[in-house]
């Protein structure tokens, strides 16, 4: 766990969110000549205190009366009490705002506009329904998503998003106070209009529509939601890009970095990739990204600087021999580099070590594992001292201590190591774990069996030491370390299964055919790199008896 005293910003307690519910009413339609769905949206008042002027789904805060109303509503046997109350709140708010009511007559048929005309939308909905012999149809409502408003906002809501089919024979009529201009819109069209600037929406609405556009009929979406659990949960975080606020969900690449730097959700951290200055992540951790971005390096190679002026600094992965980059590392450390550590010997990680060492008056030792005999010529590396698995590299001074635990992790390269910042529970993963891509395993120096075994070891260390954050050599910081490792292992094994199937289906086929079948979900421009990992998987399959025939 990160030490609170290492956080960059004073922390504040986010506003407590208010419980709310939202309804997405759906109907089948056509969009550009193909089957599609449409969702009912409405524009909020320009004077509204929350999302003024934005197009939204009807909904609002859960009222204490909703629990009483839910007691008489119809529900599925799989809906619990909390779900029923939330569903009733969504039904009530939809009726009050748009005059659409999910309710049944005594003969179990759904009400229509004739019934609606006799009802008072301003009266208590349970009393109104009781007078007319109507029962709210919570069983028609299915959970879609669970959103909690960003931690930085002054007004926050904990919102359950529900979906339901629009009742036949009903027409939406906005209340003219909170809501205006009800409109049926295809998700893809709404997103296009939003991008063009003429259909204002807030972040959760946009991301919800992005998920909905993959469904071509209401039945398919309702079937996906039939498990009684939301399809996703999200409490977004905000950062800055080009000076403007951007929002990120949990699966977005910058989310973990925002969580590390601003755990309380304040929008203070810039997400722009900068190669001209050090980016503070904690008081004792900085990142400098060299300007060598490309297909294999993403935004560039991350050099990490651990320590403070009181303790001196350790530089992890000084990168290629890029003089401007090395000068920036020197400036960020004031030249007080105590150690230079290379996670492995590839040319975007280690060649800068000796030039950086020469720049420093005290000539800090270069540490790592020497490249093996199977390494490519451009990856030759001999450290001043060979690291020992399990050793601690320590910085101390003025009451501060920062210790890096060395973990041997062969796989991506035979001499790969990862480092754990013990006091703050951070894993510097080198190229073993990346953000935004999977690392290439390039035989003979790369080995898939060793790579997977190293992942298992890192998982055990994360569990033992409570490690939550991974700082990769390419890409933003990752959070939920063990979940990331689990996903990576599952991805590798799923790819291996596809390769085994391709080999079984085409036992005499050339490797290009296996590549085309096993990596059909990967852009063709990446196939040359993928071919290296395919060879690594084939080596691993050859180690397993009967792997190609089972």
**Per-residue pLDDT band at 47 (split at 50, 70, 90):** confident
Using the structure block, give the residue that is written with the tokens 């009742």.
167
Right CATH number for 274-488 from 3.40.630.30, 3.65.10.10, 3.60.15.10, 1.10.510.10?
3.60.15.10
Give the other-Cβ count within 10 Å of 65's Cβ. 14
Share the mean pLDDT of the chain. Answer: 95
What is the arithmetic mean of pLDDT over 92-105? 96
pLDDT at 550: 46
Q: pTM for this structure? A: 0.93
> How many whole angstroms separate alpha carbon 222 and alpha carbon 231?
11
547 has a pLDDT exceeding 70: no
What is the arithmetic mean of pLDDT over 86-109? 96
pLDDT at 545: 65
> DSSP secondary structure string, 160-176?
EEEEEEPPTT------S
Summarised one tens digit per residue, pLDDT across range 242-301 is 999 999 999 999 999 999 999 999 999 999 998 999 999 999 999 999 999 998 899 999
> Would you call the peptide bond into 142 cis, given omega within 30 degrees of 0 as the criterion?
no
Q: Are 414 and 445 in contact (CB under 8 A)?
A: yes
pLDDT at 546: 57
Summarised one tens digit per residue, pLDDT across range 311-329 is 999 999 999 999 999 999 9
What is the arithmetic mean of pLDDT over 382-390? 98
Q: What's the residue count for the chain?
A: 550
> How many whole angstroms separate alpha carbon 315 and alpha carbon 342?
8
Give the other-Cβ count within 10 Å of 136's Cβ. 26
What is the arithmetic mean of pLDDT over 138-156? 96
DSSP run (H or E) holding 324: helix 323-333
| Sequence spans of domains, the chain | 18-234, 236-272, 274-488, 492-543
Summarised one tens digit per residue, pLDDT across range 222-237 is 999 999 999 999 999 9
**Per-residue pLDDT band at 509 (split at 50, 70, 90):** confident
> Dihedral sign, CA of 354, 355, 356, 358?
positive
* Closest to 26 in 3D by CA, of 195, 198, 189, 215: 215
- CATH fold group of domain 18-234: Nucleoside Triphosphate Pyrophosphohydrolase (3.90.79)
């Amino acid at each position: 766990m990160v030490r609170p005293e290492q956080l960059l910003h004073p922390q504040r307690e986010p506003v407590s969110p208010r419980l709310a519910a939202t309804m997405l009413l759906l109907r089948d339609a056509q969009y550009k000549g193909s089957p599609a769905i449409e969702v009912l949206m409405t524009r909020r008042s320009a004077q509204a205190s929350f999302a003024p002027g934005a197009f939204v789904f009807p909904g609002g805060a859960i009222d204490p009366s909703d629990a009483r109303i839910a007691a008489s509503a119809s529900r599925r046997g799989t809906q619990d009490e909390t779900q029923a109350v939330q569903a009733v709140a969504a039904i009530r708010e939809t009726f009050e705002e748009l005059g659409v009511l999910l309710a049944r007559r005594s003969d179990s048929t759904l009400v229509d506009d004739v019934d609606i005309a006799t009802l008072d939308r301003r009266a208590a909905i349970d009393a109104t329904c009781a007078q007319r012999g109507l029962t709210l149809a919570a069983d028609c409502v299915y959970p879609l998503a669970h959103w909690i408003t960003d931690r930085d906002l002054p007004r926050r809501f904990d919102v359950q998003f529900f979906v339901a089919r629009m009742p036949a024979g009903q027409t939406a009529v906005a209340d003219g106070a909170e809501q205006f201009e009800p409109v049926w819109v295809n998700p893809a069209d709404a997103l296009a209009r939003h991008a063009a600037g003429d259909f204002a929406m807030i972040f959760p609405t946009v991301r919800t529509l992005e998920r909905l556009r993959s469904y071509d009929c209401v039945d398919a979406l309702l079937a996906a939601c039939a498990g009684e659990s939301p399809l996703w949960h999200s409490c977004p975080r905000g950062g800055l890009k080009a000076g403007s606020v951007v929002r990120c969900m949990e699966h977005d690449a910058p989310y973990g970095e925002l969580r590390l730097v601003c755990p309380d959700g304040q929008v203070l951290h810039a997400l722009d990739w900068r190669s001209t200055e050090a980016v503070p992540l904690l008081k004792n951790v900085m990142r400098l990204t060299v300007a060598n971005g490309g297909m294999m390096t993403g935004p560039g190679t991350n050099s990490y600087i651990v320590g403070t002026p009181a303790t001196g600094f350790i530089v992890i992965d000084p990168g290629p021999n890029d003089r401007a980059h090395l000068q920036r590392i020197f400036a960020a450390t004031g030249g007080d580099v105590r150690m230079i550590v290379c996670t492995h010997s590839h040319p975007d990680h280690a060649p800068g070590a000796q030039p950086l060492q020469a720049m420093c008056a005290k000539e800090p030792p270069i540490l790592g594992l020497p490249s093996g005999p199977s390494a490519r010529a451009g990856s030759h590396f001999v450290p001043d001292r060979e690291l020992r698995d399990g050793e601690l590299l320590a910085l101390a001074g003025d009451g501060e201590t920062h210790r890096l635990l060395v973990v041997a992790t062969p796989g991506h390269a035979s001499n790969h190591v990862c480092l754990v910042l013990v006091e703050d529970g951070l894993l510097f993963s080198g190229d073993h774990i990346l953000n935004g891509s999977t690392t290439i395993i390039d035989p003979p120096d790369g080995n898939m069996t060793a790579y997977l075994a190293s992942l298992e070891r890192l998982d055990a260390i994360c569990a033992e030491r409570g490690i939550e954050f991974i700082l990769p050599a390419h890409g933003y910081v990752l959070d939920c370390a063990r979940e990331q490792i689990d996903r990576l292992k599952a991805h590798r094994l799923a790819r291996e299964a596809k390769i085994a199937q391709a080999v079984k289906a085409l036992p005499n086929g050339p490797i290009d055919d296996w590549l085309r079948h096993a990596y059909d979900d990967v852009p063709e421009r990446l196939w040359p790199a993928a071919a290296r990992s395919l060879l690594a998987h084939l080596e691993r399959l050859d180690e397993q008896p009967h792997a190609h025939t089972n």
